[in-house]
Amino acid sequence: MNLISALSRALSKSMFALAGVALAASMVLTVSDVILRSFQRPIVGTYELVGLLGAIVVGFAIPETSRSNGHVIMDFLPSVLSGGLRRLLRIIVRLIGISLFLTIAVNLWSMGTDFRINGEVTPTLQLPLYPVAWGLSVCCLIECLTLFNDILETKEPVL
Of 123 and 155, the one with more pLDDT: 123
Mean pLDDT taken over the chain: 91
Residue 12 is assigned to a structural domain of this protein: yes
* 88 or 54, greater pLDDT: 54
Categorise residue 119: left if φ over 0, alpha if ψ from -120 to 50, beta otherwise: left
Quick: pLDDT tens for 104-131: 999 999 999 999 999 999 999 999 999 9
Torsion of CA 34, 38, 39, 43, to 10 degrees: 20
pTM for the predicted model, two decimal places? 0.87
In this predicted structure, what is the pLDDT of residue 141?
Answer: 97
Quick one: which of 62, 63, 48, 54 has its CA closest to 23?
A: 54
- Residue 153, pLDDT score: 85
Mean pLDDT of 10-39: 96
What CA–CA distances, in Å, run from 35 to 43, 58, 146?
10, 26, 41
Q: Is residue 65 situated within a structural domain?
A: yes
Classify residue 159: in a domain, yes or no: no
How many domains does the chain contain in total? 1
Q: Is residue 85 part of a domain?
A: yes
Q: What residues are paired with 121 via a beta bridge?
A: 128
Q: How far apart are CA 85 and CA 102, in angstroms?
A: 25
Domain hosting residue 22, numbered range: 3-153
For position 158, what pLDDT does the model report?
Answer: 56
Chain centroid to CA 31: 25
Residue 143 belongs to some domain of the structure:
yes
Amino acid letter for position 58: V
Confidence of residue 77 (pLDDT cuts 50, 70, 90): low
Number of other CB atoms surrounding residue 121 within 10 Å: 14
Position 91 in a domain: yes
Q: Which of 81-85, 87-91, 124-128 has the highest mean pLDDT?
A: 124-128
Residue 114 inside a domain? The answer is yes
Residue 158 counted as domain residue: no
